[in-house]
Every structure is written in C-alpha cells, then in structure tokens.
Structure 1
C-alpha cells in the first residue's frame, strides 16, 4: 500500500484509547482505579518533562531517578511484603501498573530486573538475612540487578554453563564469564548462574546453582559491549577468584536450573513482551484512523486484534502466577508470539507513518521508528530465542 505521510494527532485515537482503558481480564473497581492512577501519573510526568516516550523503555530506558520516583508511589516491588518495604500487591495489580507505564514509554530499565524477578525470587527462595539485605532497597528503587546466564560460545544452551563456583571453608570462590548481560554496566548486583558440581553428561542441567554477587566485589570486571543501543547497555562480566560469603547462594545448591525456569516464566509472559513498540504503534494507528484509507485501517485493525489477544493471554499468566500455578509453557507461548508481533508491528508502523527512521529526530514518529528499528534485532533473542521457545512449547503440549 502507499504509505500515508499525515502526522498523527497529539491525542491517541478513540480506538487506541478504548484498547488501553479496557482490562484484558476480569476488572474490578479497584483495578480500574489503579490503572487510571498509573495512567494519570505517567501523563503528568511526561507533561512535566520528566521523560519523553520511547520504544523498548523497559530495556533501554535507564533512569534511576525515575525508578525512585515510582518507588515513592509504591510501584516498585509491588508484590513484596510490606515488612520489607513492598506494597503487598498481587501480580495482577502489578501487571496493570506496568502495562500503563510501558504504554506511556516511561523509562523503567533501572529497576526492571530487580522488580520483575529478583525481588520475588529472593522473597521466595532467600534466607531471612537475604530478604532483609536485598528487598528493602529493591522496593525503594535503589538497587538495580542484572542477570548473568549466557556465556561466551554457549548461545542459548544454559546446560553448557562453565562459570564455576567452588566451596571454600567459609563461602564460595567464583570464576568464569557472562556475556550479553543487560544493564550489567550499571547494576548494583548480579544474579549469577554457576556450576557448583562436576558436569554430568547424563544430567546436563544438574549441578547448577544461583549466586547473589554485589557488583563492587573484588574480582568482578565489567566490560561494556558496544551495540546499536549504545556502549553501556550490554556488558560482559568477568569473575576472577571472586570470594563470596556462604549466604551468597540463593535457594538450594544444585537446583539452579529449576529456579531459573521458574523465573523465566515470570520474565517471558509480561506485557513488556508485546508493548515494547506500543508508543510507535499508537502513533501509527492514530495516523491510520485519521487518514480514513481502507488499506491503512485494515493494517491497523490487524495490529490491534493481535495486541488485544496477546494482552488477554499475558493477563491470564499473571492471574495464574497469583494462584501459585506453573506457567512455564503459557509464558513461553506469550513470549514467542509477542516478540514476533513486535517485529511485525514495526514494519506496519513504517508503512503507515511514511517517515524516515531517525532515533535522534525531533519528530516523534521518526524518533520512535528509529528506536524500534534499533532494538528490533533483540526482540526475538532476549529471554530465550524463539527457536528454543518453540521446542519448549512443543514438549509442553506433548506432555499435557
């Protein structure tokens, strides 16, 4: 089709506004009120010049001050117990707030890993001392985490982990390397998947454990990896005779693989897996609605239909987690479909907006399109490649 060059209006179209307002699952007055509070907060922060909407804001929008501002609203560490500074909210309530912030393109990267998975994991698996040490600063938005899983020359095969943690008289000695560590250059601490027992070819996922490693520990070296997102977005982290106390171990020794897969269910199914491009999609759909062009409206309708379906699927996973049920396979399905949608939505937006991408442009459409294209190669890689996820989904369906 011929791209329309009409610029979108400042306000979203009625179609997009209705999509944002309606909840993808059973809505209560409390959830609706929470959603409107989060939306108003984001709008006011944007109007005050606190941020400019961006694509991939949960991955590339590193802003510690904004994270602390959200924490003062009780929107970081929402599901953590109040005794540790959390809000004691449900996963569904967190979902509603996060969805609105992602839709607004607010910068969330500085607290993202700590809020999404590290806080809940430490609450579930950690000792009393670990909870007291880590959870309060997470809830205040003052502690950022990075996750160290992938290793050089290992790709997506976590069973081939070579980073080694050996027991000492009073703790652990850590040696190895992690690569493609998102936020590793800035993080205050890392969760490291390491081998704590000899590799057994017959049980490839056995003998792995998770360790909590403060980034300023002697022997930890962080090397930024230059990418399209800048030199400080990804990092390689080297561990050279890093001495850790005994309570650096998170959870049960040798159960790292089971712990990782449980965390991945949380990581893969959230609204970030299909809302990374929403600020761009919103502009594109608004442009299509204003143009009245039938071909443009058909493209916009297809995007909205996919988005609505993914929201319902993702919301159901959040509700499932609230009930304490396993969500590994449904989460993988949401991630695989959601990241493919993100890739396709960028192409649709390019056709509907008819602008040249430029991540530094003053034109919101050109800037958001440039940002989305810059992040696009990572959509189907991070959190597990789509090829790996399809295998996981197939195995899950076979044993269901």
Structure 2
C-alpha cells in the first residue's frame, strides 16, 4: 500500500480526486518493470517516451487552456497527477519543468505568439524546458546574476554562464534570468527573462556527474548567442517579479515532500513482514507519517492560494524548508534502522534504493533555494528580521 493512501485527501475537490484511479491503473502498467532503485529517482527520472505517453493522455499542461493544447483543469488536477507520479517513481523529469512552471509562466507573461508556439508543444510532451537561474560565484544570491542579454537593433546578444541547470543537455529551451540593463550591484533592477533555444550557435552545455553517477545537473555557457526580439518574456526589467512568482510553483509542490517516498514505501513494506517487523521501526514509521501528513496539508493550502491567483512566496518557502528536512531525515533514519539488523537480513534491492537516495539527499536542501536563504525569507515574512 502506498504511503499516499494513508494521508488525508479530503481537501482536494472531488472531481480532481476522481483522477486518481485512472492514473494509478495507468502507472501500475507503465512502471511495473522498473526496480525501486530506479523509481527512487522520482522527478529526476528521465524518459522522453514516457513524457509523450502522458502528453497523449492529456496529462501534461493539464491546467493550460484548451486553445493552447491543455485540458483547462484546475491546479488540483495537476496536484493529483503529480502526487501519483511521485508516489510510484514515474520518470517524469523530461517534461517536469515545462509542465510545472515554464508553461504557466509563458501563459501569464508571454505574448500570444509565444503561447501559440510553445504551449501546445509542452502539452504534447515535445518541448522540454530547463531553468537558467543559478550562476557561479553567486551562491544563492539570485539577484546578483551577471549573465547579460544586451539589447540591440536585432534583438539581444546573450553572454554569460548558468550552473546546476537540471537536464539542460536533454532540453530544447531554457528560460533564463538575465541582466538586460544596469550592473549586478543594481540587484533587482534591470533583470529580465528570456527564452533561449539551446540549439543556437554559441550555446555549450556540459553535464556534471554527481555522487550517484547521474549527470542531470549541467553548466551552460553563452558565447555571444544571438536572440531574436521575441525571446523576451514579459516586460524588460520585470524579471525579478516574474521569477519570484515562478519560484512559488517550484517550492510548494509534492516534489518537496516525496523525493524519498519510494524508499520509504519499500522499507515500510518490508517492515510489515515478519522478517522486517520491529517495534523501533514501527515507531519510526509513525513519526514519519505524523510529520508528512501536516506537511502535505500545508502544500495543499499553498496550492489553494495559487489557484486564487495569490503569490504565497513565504508559505511556499516554509513548505520547501520543512519538506526537504523530512526528505533528508527519511534515508538517514532508515539507514540507522537497516544497519542495526543482522548482516544478510535486509533485502538487497532495499539496500540499493537506500544507497541511491542517501547519495542524492544532500541536494534536496539545495535545489529550489538553499536552507539558509529560505529561512531568511521565512523570518522576514514573520517580521523577525
């Protein structure tokens, strides 16, 4: 039984909750052959074929208007889909960014021509996006970006570098936060967002191999890349407002709670057997459930605010900070339990799954905003600094 079955689901509207049965039936067939240590990659798993299968079913861009290829459903419909994808470890990484934030960003700020061109391709699982925010030597200080898109008579000339860009080597486009005027010392002034076709001359993408052996992080270099005028999203100089609104989508979803969920479910299934049962393990399971349930309720509450057109930046930061803390606790606590057992008692596949999640868990509190930055945002939101 999935952990998701034990969490309260009543706050999601019934018409959206009804999606679950169909999605679970599809996923039971689509991912049943994948072992847990592969499914544990969660939203980092990558399969263009799987994304196109979801697109054919109308499960990408589900909140986008029908005239742009979407289903016109509520954000809660997407929430249900995402929960089910993550709970079973479906390989959704290829379309993840485009569906979660690039599509909604283009819908809100893009021109009609941009909407007509990009959104149907996103919905079909044919256009994959990455995020160009972080830069070398900037740490988590996003406002200090130095990558420049210099305006000229033909559009923009893009120069600079981005780093930690997830799946850039697999993506077609990047939405990059760049400086179109002023200097880095100007902070929020002069920042804009541009769509970069990653096949353009002057773009170089270099994957970075992580501790697990995966290479989903990348460095991206721009060497006098020529961008047309229609690369700009929204107004020039409006980039900071746009990117902070975008981060609310990034920080508050189920992916900030469920990155360790495949491991947890595999461990819990074993703990429920006579071979794996122990009182200490059952107490640990109870502790994780009692933390996960209110966090999920908080995440759903942020989703409610987003559906009302609000921008719950502080609330989203709180969900992300608490959620990733729990995500990192899960593999550490499970390791303590498993390595207290007799040698040879623990199933090998469970150990393989634990090994992978342990290797990638440090990134949970880095991606989407580091812990220190988020805590500063929360403190300011509470009037404590």
> What TM-score do you get using the length of structure 1 for normalisation?
0.90
How far off its partner does 1:364 sit? Answer: 2.9
Residue 298 (structure 2) pairs with residue 298 (structure 1): no
| Larger RCO, structures 1/2 (Cα 8 Å, 6+ apart) | 1
Is contact 1:190–1:213 with CA below 8 Å preserved after alignment?
Answer: yes
Match of 1:284?
A: 267
> Gapped runs of 5+ residues in structure 1?
1-11
Point out where structure 2 has 5 or more consecutive residues left out of the alignment: none
CA distance in 2: counterparts of 1:281 and 1:287, whole angstroms: 10
Kept after mapping to 2: 8 A contact 1:321/1:327:
yes
Secondary structure at the aligned position of 2:96 is classed as helix
* Residue pair 1:144, 1:187 contacting (<8 A) in 2 also: yes
Q: Is the 8 A contact 2:4 2:87 kept in 1?
A: no
CA distance in 2: counterparts of 1:200 and 1:28, whole angstroms: 45
Pairwise CA distance, 1:335: 0.2
2:204 to 206, 209, 221: 221
Confirm or deny that 1:156 pairs with 2:143: no
Report 1:233-382 matches (<5 A). 233-290=216-273, 291-354=276-339, 363-382=348-367
Residue 58 (1) aligns with residue 53 (2) = no
Is contact 1:56-1:375 (8 Å) kept? no
**SS of residue paired to 1:112:** helix
Q: Do structure 1's residue 180 and structure 2's residue 180 form an aligned pair?
A: no
CA shift in 2, pair 1:28/1:254, >3 Å: closer
Instruction: Give yes or no for the alignment of 1:35 onto 2:13.
Output: no
Cα RMSD of the aligned pairs, angstroms, is 2.1
Q: What is the CA–CA distance in structure 2 between the aligned matches of 1:372 and 1:344, rounded to whole Å?
A: 11
How far residue 231 of structure 1 moved from its aligned partner, in angstroms, is 5.7
How many pairs align? 378
* Corresponding residue SS for 1:342: helix
1:307-333 deviations in whole A, cap 9, x for unaligned? Answer: 111111101111111111121011000
Question: Which region of structure 1 is more displaced relative to structure 2, 309-318 or 390-399?
Answer: 390-399
CA contact (8 A) 2:43 2:86 kept: yes
The separation in 2 between residues aligned to 1:113 and 1:89, in whole angstroms, is: 18
